[in-house]
Chain A
Amino acid sequence: GDSVTQTEGQVTVSESKSLIINCTYSATSIGYPNLFWYVRYPGEGLQLLLKVITAGQKGSSRGFEATYNKEATSFHLQKASVQESDSAVYYCALRPGSWQLIFGSGTQLTVMP
């Protein structure tokens, strides 16, 4: 079936350092699923960070970037210089052409001052 894997449950990074949160996916029901990153800041609801619907394209928002890599079936989230306010839980998700979103298990990012 379709699935999303985030291998890191928790990531700690010092402020101004670079970040990468890994996401790989398996989409057996469709060749080109839509890919998303959602974020939940402390005390807030889940919100869309960025999305990419075309393989090979890059999405960006708030300094974060993710590239839809069809060959590697990956959609890693990157940021060149993190801030303390980026501390949150990040979820990778795919929509395999149907009605539902399939989420990864989430990665808790803690940015140390």
Chain B
Amino acid sequence: ETAVFQTPNYHVTQVGNEVSFNCKQTLGHDTMYWYKQDSKKLLKIMFSYNNKQLIVNETVPRRFSPQSSDKAHLNLRIKSVEPEDSAVYLCASSWGNQDTQYFGPGTRLLVL
């Protein structure tokens, strides 16, 4: 049963455009994350966020930014996409940052 929802499933766009991906969790968790899975299937953390603290992986370009309206939602905005942003973006949530993380199905981005 899916409890972390992501939209869209798939998005195609052109270099320089802005995109935004949505993530919602219904588990009552207070911490959410964004991961990037590249073409080599490597999964890397991008952000961790709860209502008190945003933690950013220092390797994430500044064009990426998380946006949260409440603890159940954490969207990902990419201001001006680049070809290397083509990847699958996975959202996850947990209770605190030490508990098990639950993942959404992912959003696949293709930048032409």
Contacts and interface: CB of A to CB of B under 8 A. Distances in A.
Bin the interface of chain A by size.
10 to 19
B103 A100 contact: no
A101 B44 CA distance: 8
Contacts of A46: 90, 92, 103, 106
B45 A101 contact: yes
Interface of A: 38, 44-48, 51, 89, 91, 95, 98-103, 105-106
13 contacts: A38-B103, A45-B2, A45-B105, A46-B90, A46-B103, A47-B103, A48-B100, A95-B98, A99-B55, A99-B97, A102-B45, A103-B42, A106-B43
A51 B100 contact: yes
Contact of B41 (A98, A101, A102, A106): A106
A105 B98 CA distance: 22
Contacts of A100: 33, 45, 48, 55, 57
Contacts of A105: 40-42
Interface in B68-111: 90, 92, 97-98, 100-106
B89 to A, nearest CB: 12
Given A45-B103, A48-B102, A103 B2 contact: no
A21 B20 CA distance: 37
